[in-house]
Amino acid sequence: MDIAITGSTGLIGSALTASLTADGHRVVPVVRSAGRTDSVRWDPSSGTIEGDGLEGLDAVVHLAGEGIASGPWTKAQLRRIHDSRQQGTHLLASTLAGLAQPPATLLSGSAIGFYGDRGNDRLSEAAPAGEGFLADVCVAWEAATAPAADAGIRVAHLRTGIVLDRNGGALGKQLPIFKLGLGGKAGKGTQWMSWISLEDEIRAIRFALETPSISGPVNLVAPTPVTNAEFTKALGAAVHRPTFMPIPRLVRHAPLGVGDLLESLLFTSARVEPDALAAAGFAFSHRTIEDGLAAVLGTPPPSP
């Protein structure tokens, strides 16, 4: 297949590019600055994209967007997070809709932030949107793909959970702390965390690319979400360190913009389940948090 990828240098995009390329697929990066000769240039903020480079491709995987945790949630940063997703996605979807030979498939990034803070509720793809900034962003992000769907392109929204990788994402930031024996649960630790190993994230995206029946929202999470306390215990065991240093819920006293970010990252509860993937026959390599951590850390899984 010939597949264009936005966000191809990020944690997920780079791993997806490597996986597809290794299997003989042609990847066309969609980038802001001049790069490889087969790349497509775009600038979502100015509304420009080299649409001709997308003509006749088999699929587009859209992963670009301002990092949620790339800085304090000031008003300017919140606007960047929103606009990088809504404007970029609308530009891409509108461009694809206007091509003479558009790709048959658009897999567009989203996140389980769509569901908001939902306590112990079990959340399938049929669950309604939640409340809060991230939920609003995800709703606008997914809605921006409408021009592509209206043009007959198969569109799937990849609602990704916490991606486990030792070199990036949330786990990459936590590992040094836990290895020092300074890790601990956030607050009471009862909030649910819906996670997926990077390997399964890439396998699930490729499965969605190759499965024509998949469209609409798709939860990219492992089938066994865990509480924050359970995750903390499993990560401490994986690195052979105690986890006696709880993170107090003092976000209201944090500096401007930091409190809302910490609240979203540490204390939001989302018990998300991958019903769409299960119904389509996807088989996870890492179903439990212990197996997932063992895989990404390169350590033996615990004995049953």
The tens digit of pLDDT for each residue in 207-218 reads 999 999 999 999
List the chain domain ranges.
Answer: 2-297
**Which of 179-188, 219-228, 268-277 shows the lowest mean pLDDT across its residues?**
179-188
Structure tokens at 67: 């990092």
Query: Which residues 6+ apart lie within 8 Å of 258 measured at CB?
Result: 72, 73, 251
Cα(202)–Cα(12) distance, rounded to whole angstroms? Answer: 7
Given a cut of 70, whether residue 164 has pLDDT beyond it is: yes
Q: To 5 degrees, how large is the angle CA 50–CA 56–CA 57?
A: 85
Cα(185)–Cα(168) distance, rounded to whole angstroms? Answer: 20
The tens digit of pLDDT for each residue in 51-75 reads 999 999 999 999 999 888 878 888 9
Q: What is the pLDDT of residue 300?
A: 74
Burial 282-300 (b: 16+ CB within 10 A, else e): bebebebbbbbbbbbbeee
CATH class name, domain 2-297: alpha beta
The tens digit of pLDDT for each residue in 267-288 reads 899 999 999 999 999 999 999 9
Given a cut of 70, whether residue 48 has pLDDT beyond it is: yes
**Mean pLDDT value of segment 40-55:** 93
Q: To 5 degrees, how large is the angle CA 190–CA 191–CA 196?
A: 120
Structure tokens at 233: 């215990």
